[in-house]
Structure 1
């Protein structure tokens, strides 16, 4: 209905021009809003602030409407959309206002609009305004998806209430009758927004309004409810273990309110610099606590949006030939069927008598890729009993089927977790649920990382003799996080507890516990120890008790864990290092003698022992990786000069090794150019000679290059580096005892920077310590570098450590963290 029927006795609407001098400015409104937002010594909390601002603007607008003659019989009405329309007005939100009129003369409409808009503009209050008749507004709602969604939540403010009701009723009626033809457009509009803004739960700086799981998605659910296709707030039974949908909505609103207040402007992106202050204002905790709460809220909203869209799609009338076909019920498992593109319970299913039904439904969902119906999950939540301990063998089998399904298992576990069913199966999950990562290289929350690792590990089940223990190990390898202490040790104890509950054999429980306890052993050893040292291999073999099964499980898990961590964490060189370590350990476990260090190429040996400098560059395993070998007289400072030459030529060092023969240093680097082809080996040789002769100060040249780049960034000539995680982690230095007296191993974890290896090795060399060997590993934007150093004779170990720490932190790209000692 878009036409107004007037009562003939009432006459035509009539607007009366206000008397000159009777209009008051809006400066008082802006001042009052600012005072409410700042709050003085006793600021309002987020919810109270929104209510106060809503009352303030409603009062001003209704008063202003009376002043300028917008009355019930004037033929005009003021309608609010956006935050003001929803009753969710934030401190720095725009005012979304529509001036409705009943076909009034253009000159009158223009005069009324100026009397309403100009005071707001003069007071620097941001407004998004429009002037329309009801038919015009309804037509816009039908043509523009964003405008149509906004009008569904319109609210009458002042003037002719019948006119506002006509608009609101007309927009909603048009939405309901046209949803069948516009549903695909709505889904496309939503998914485009998700692609553009990303997921709030796993975003470094999330978009609280438009990101996946944000406030726009709550409004989408409301739009589906207005179309009578879904509920706005489903029952409590379908709730996150910590929040209902309504609570998640309120949490997001409160964070966005505080973001506006802290930033002093209408921001939607939660920047890392504001996180601690917002967490404190909401009494949540620090930025990690805030990130965890946001993850829970956003994932709860995301779950309901996915379920709501599916429910709406199934509720729409079918078109074409599909309207003639009845949906088919396809059996999937005992008590489980497929219907209408979802996994549901069969008519004769009795979940109250069937504890294993949860896992059968989950296994069917994961293996078919079909989602579990919200009604099915709700029924399981309300009626399914707990599984007895130990689990029946069939329940364990269904769990393993689900875990081995690959990527589709991610969505299945997410749905179980958001409804509380996953927590029933694994009570230990609560400590890692929505736990934000502390390491810059991780892109997922800890619980999502575990599930992603399972998804990756499922592709490696043919590599191992116990694929069941591989996927179980992937599922629980980080389960000890979030509890304080060494997560590997705590996780091993929890793995024993979980294995007993699942009904594993005692020997299998022991293997699972070992896998969790030592899941970092292979990558850490391969990247920080000398693999040519027999003691390194012997230590790994002794730690694993000579168990080949555990070794192969750890090998596969190391790759799955890295792939599920983030881009760049797993690569050819990390794979080759771990592969070499596993190969050597296999030989030792098989009873064969440990291999000696790989011999140096006789051709290279023939070049060593002279005063000449030799540099050669060869192609590595693929077209982007190169091996650079530099042979020169072994003098202190050579490694930093060699690394500096590589950095000056835009060669990124992936790994490095140090050898010696007859007084010559043989340094081998695995590098890749930042772009294009690498420079000629002769150019590298000439620059290395200049550096050794003191004619080229590579460290100063690198510092100048970095300063020039920063200057260009400030001038806008190049893009400045952008942090890739939220919040950034500080660098860390961990010390380990070396293989002999006077030997130490320093592991440095930090974000990468140009010439980092040159800067670090220069620190060691200035301190008078020798570098016996080095393992350099780059993981995306992070590096883990290990250096085995030899202290000067008679030097005090503690004093040298403290001095090195101070100097190393001066070249690392972030403030230092607390130094950790290895046990």
Structure 2
């Protein structure tokens, strides 16, 4: 996207020297020179790759430099091949107008973003139906590339066919959009570029955006639909390289930008956002290059084994309470989060541009709905916006208020306001965190009746959440390095809050009938939401995260506005949030001592209800498929046994009392036949 010159190019490959060597071989051996030529080309390729490996080892975060270097190496080889084939194998001194050939780089090769084992995606373009000469040149070049062991993805089309197919097929249209001239007939390439913009792109901008976003959403669904899966696909996963590329494709198609930096000039990204774009891109490209080098193949899934090796390669070190691999993956997820934030503001900005253009055309041109005022904010088109650039600077508590209002009124936060919030989040200091109004607003948002999870996610992506609750900021993008958890700590927590909200609204009563009943019986629903927020708040620290989390809860709950009883309840829930699942799944529920031990810790029905709810959302928020009917049955059995024991008291012989009570009840119902009970 940004093709800065590759430094010290001849240390990678010296095209003139290689071309001279091939010419000498042809002059000496004629038609028999092919094996020696292939050997010379392979030697140049191997030496170039070795130099690029050395450079990445020297600067392990240099993603752009590495990928540009591989694209440069490929460019030079393709040029040497074309010159050799057209000069030595199929010379045509007096070519006709049809005997022209342009070689275009497409895909990652076209963007000059090639990892060590990326495919070489090439398009051969001819002015009209292929002549024998064009076919011979293309075939000879492909055979030589295959001899070199290159994995080549190629197409061969006339200019008319390329334009026609681009109109019909999104993939081909995207290929032409990012096609880069490599060698051959440059005039033909220029004609293809001109016709693409005038005959394909013009008037189809909105359609392209819609189709690209649909393509992106389908890809996300295949990959797990979260940017916080613990074994992410760095290319196609949510928050990965393909998402950044999609932004560039959309920006280029709608505004004809030539580089990602020009997205600033057309207003789709701010300077700070562009820098974030480049940082995320550089890191992700570097990780992909390391992954290819480690595996020796085009591998894009960052599994646990590879995470450890890349963390070491990229010089991440252990820290107290956090290993090098956890620090590496936390940094990875912070970049994925940045990609998500960029995507949100970028697409919202584009959507507004389209809306403004539509408002100026057609029958209703000039007729636009009027914005309304809400507590000083501007509400229009389902979005809430700050009325001025200084809005949050004048009163930083508004950084909490805008999200609380968005949840309460079921509004989106305007992209410009999201940008302001991200910029001004640093204004949240100790004074704001201790402000009673700010904490009341936050608690209202957390326990909101509409969709608190989505708004908390926006708040988190703007950086406001981590500033207002620094303990939550510490688990932002925190890796859970095991096979059980699918998501980072912050994403797991926000998903759990969303599940609690859905349970309260009755949307999950088929899967969680007991929790759906219990949430309406607890004395404090806000304590339930705060407990979910804080249950994993101390993960990644040195020590037991349940014990440390309970200490955090005792500090934060009074700040949020919870009373003494609620604070003690939340602290207890955080301390024992794993108790019910461990007891149900790892202890024998037919053993009276199992229930006795569990009840001795719980000691009350209110705690039991809250713990059952917290356990259900905690398990389900771990990832797809982690909640099932077997777990539901075990937890339900433990709940029922414990509830019965708690209602009858803690007598050691409570079971005998329950049996006697049942006998008496049955005996009474049997009346004259009560002797049947005595015989049992």
The two structures have a TM-score, normalised by structure 2, of 0.75
- Equivalent residues in 2 for 1:517-532, closer than 5 Å: 517-528=575-586
Deviation at 1:538?
6.8
How far has the Cα of 1:485 moved from its partner? 0.8
Query: What is the rounded CA distance, in whole Å, between the counterparts of 1:586 and 1:39 in structure 2?
Result: 74
1:33 paired to 2:65: no
Partner Cα separation in structure 2 for residue 382 and residue 212 of structure 1: 24
Counterpart contact for 2:107–2:175, Cα < 8 Å: yes
Q: Deviations for 1:230-272, whole angstroms, at most 9, x for unmatched residues?
A: 9478346559xxx923222222212221222222122233344
**Deviation readout 1:390-435 (Å, 9 max, x if unpaired):** 6444433332332234683333222222221111111112332222
Partner of 1:605: none
1:437 aligns with 2:480: yes
C-alpha contact 2:595 2:641 (8 A) present in aligned 1: no
Range 260-269 or range 565-574, more displaced: 565-574
The answer on whether the counterparts of 1:526 and 1:578 sit within 8 Å (CA) in structure 2 is: no
Q: Secondary structure at the match of 1:60?
A: helix
Q: How does 1:649-664 map to 2 (within 5 A)?
A: none
In structure 2, distance between residues paired with 1:118 and 1:216: 30
* In 1: Cα distance, 2:385 partner to 2:138 partner: 55
Q: Contact conserved, 2:71 with 2:114, CA < 8 A, in 1?
A: yes
> Which has a greater percent of strand?
1
Instruction: Compute the displacement of 1:472 (Å).
Output: 0.9
Measure the CA separation in 1 of the matches of 2:450 and 2:146. 52
Distance change (3 Å), C-alpha of 1:27 and 1:137 = farther
Q: Using the alignment, how far apart are the partners of 1:583 and 1:330 within structure 2?
A: 55
Q: Which residue matches 2:654?
A: 595
Q: Superposed, which structure 2 residues align to 1:305-454 within 5 Å?
A: 305-316=343-354, 317-318=357-358, 325-331=367-373, 333-346=374-387, 350-383=391-424, 385-386=427-428, 388=431, 391-405=434-448, 408-454=451-497
Output aligned runs, 1:443-482, within 5 Å: 443-458=486-501, 459-460=503-504, 461-482=519-540
1:150 aligns with 2:162: no
Secondary structure class of the residue paired with 2:203: helix
CA drift of 1:164 comes to 2.2
Measured in 1, the distance between the counterparts of 2:371 and 2:467 equals: 29
Distance 2:50 2:572 in 1: 55
Say which SS state the counterpart of residue 649 (structure 2) adopts: helix
- Give, in whole Å, the separation in 2 of the partners of 1:202 and 1:390: 27
Shift of 1:547: 6.0
Quote the offset at 1:26 in angstroms: 4.2
Match status 1:495 vs 2:553 = yes
Deviation digits for residues 138-187 of structure 1 (CA, Å, limit 9, x no counterpart): 33222211121122222111233333233334434533532123333222
Q: Deviation string for 1:697-733 (max 9, x for gaps)?
A: xxxxxxxxxxxxxxxxxxxxxxxxxxxxxxxxxxxxx
1:722 is matched with none
The 8 Å contact of residues 84 and 95 in structure 1, kept in 2 or not, is answered as yes
SS class of match (1:463) = coil
- Distance, in Å, in 1 between the alignment partners of 2:456 and 2:118 is 37
CA contact (8 A) 2:580 2:612 kept: yes
Specify the SS of the correspondent of 2:520. helix
SS of the residue aligned with 2:526? helix
Shift of 1:36: 4.6
Confirm whether residue 556 of structure 1 aligns to residue 556 of structure 2: no
> Deviation at 1:299?
3.0
1:87 alignment partner, SS class: coil
Question: Residue 570 of structure 2 corresponds to which residue in structure 1?
Answer: 512
Residue by residue, what CA displacement relative to the aligned partner does 1:658-696 show, whole Å, maximum 9, x if unpaired?
xxxxxxxxxxxxxxxxxxxxxxxxxxxxxxxxxxxxxxx
SS in 2 for 1:562: helix
Could you say if the C-alpha distance between residues 565 and 209 of structure 1 is closer, same or farther in structure 2, counting changes exceeding 3 Å?
A: closer
Distance 1:245 1:42, change over 3 A: closer
* TM-superposed deviation, 1:57: 1.7
Distance in 1 separating the partners of 2:587 and 2:161: 73
Match of 1:190 in 2: 216
The structure 2 residue matched to 1:217, chosen from 233, 238, 243, is: 243
Report what 1:720 is aligned to: none
Deviation at 1:476, TM superposition (A): 0.8
1:234 to 2:234 alignment: no
- Does structure 2 retain, via aligned residues, the 8 Å contact 1:587–1:594? no
- Aligned partners of 1:539 and 1:469: how far apart in 2? 25
What 5-or-longer segments of structure 2 have no aligned partner?
1-25, 88-92, 256-261, 318-323, 505-518, 662-680
Correspondence list, 1:777-816, <5 A: none
Q: Which residue does 1:108 correspond to in 2?
A: 133
Which residue of 312, 315, 332 maps to 1:283? 315
Say which is worse superposed, 20-29 or 254-263, in terms of deviation: 20-29
Greater Cα shift, 560-569 or 501-510: 501-510
CA separation of 1:475 and 1:522: change in aligned 2, threshold 3 A: same
- Among candidates 328, 334, 337, match of residue 299 of structure 1: 337
1:81-230 to 2 correspondences below 5 Å: 81-103=106-128, 106-172=131-197, 174-175=200-201, 177-199=203-225, 201-203=227-229, 205-228=231-254
Q: Contact (CA 8 Å) 2:584, 2:634: kept in 1 or not?
A: no
SS of the aligned residue for 1:158 comes to strand
Query: Which residue in 2 is equivalent to 1:78?
Result: 103
Q: 8 Å contact 1:194–1:211 — kept in the other structure?
A: yes
- 1:41 deviates by 9.7
* Residue among 39, 44, 52 paired with 2:56: 44
Query: CA-to-partner distance for each residue in 1:49-101, whole Å, 9 max, x for gaps?
Result: 43432232222222333334499998432211122211111211111112233
Is the partner of 1:223 in helix, strand or coil?
Answer: helix
Q: Secondary structure at the match of 1:571?
A: helix
- 2-side partners of 1:29 and 1:104: how far apart? 31
1:484 and 2:542 aligned: yes
Task: Quote how far apart the aligned CAs of 1:447 are.
Answer: 1.2
CA distance 1:237–1:488, shift in 2 (3 Å): farther
| Inter-partner Cα distance in structure 2 for 1:257 and 1:323 | 51
Are the aligned partners of 1:496 and 1:513 in contact in 2 as well (CA < 8 Å)? yes
Cα distance between partner residues in 2 of 1:42 and 1:186 = 37
Q: Deviations over 1:80-134 (max 9, x none)?
A: 1122211111211111112233448612322332333221123232212223343
Pairs aligned (count)? 579
CA RMSD in angstroms comes to: 3.8
Deviation readout 1:334-390 (Å, 9 max, x if unpaired): 133432343322359822222222222212333455432221011123346326256
Corresponding position of 2:5: none
- Within the candidate set 302, 306, 331, 1:270 is matched to 302
Instruction: Name the TM-score, length of structure 1 as normaliser.
Output: 0.63
- CA shift in 2, pair 1:595/1:258, >3 Å: same
Provide the secondary structure at the position in 1 that maps to 2:204.
helix
Which position in structure 1 is the counterpart of 2:646? Answer: 585
Distance 2:104 2:606 in 1: 70
SS of 2:537's equivalent in the other structure is: coil
Secondary structure at the counterpart of residue 183 of structure 2: strand
Distance (Å, rounded) in 2 between the aligned partners of 1:284 and 1:559: 36
| CA–CA separation in structure 1 for the residues paired with 2:351 and 2:433 | 41
Aligned residue for 1:276, secondary structure, equals helix
Give, in whole Å, the separation in 2 of the partners of 1:476 and 1:328.
Answer: 41
Distance 1:322 1:308, change over 3 A: farther
Quick one: which of 76, 80, 84 aligns to 1:59?
76
Q: Provide the C-alpha distance between the structure 2 equivalents of 1:598 and 1:248, rounded to a whole number of angstroms.
A: 66
Q: Which ranges of structure 1 fall in alignment gaps of 5 or more residues? A: 1-17, 603-823
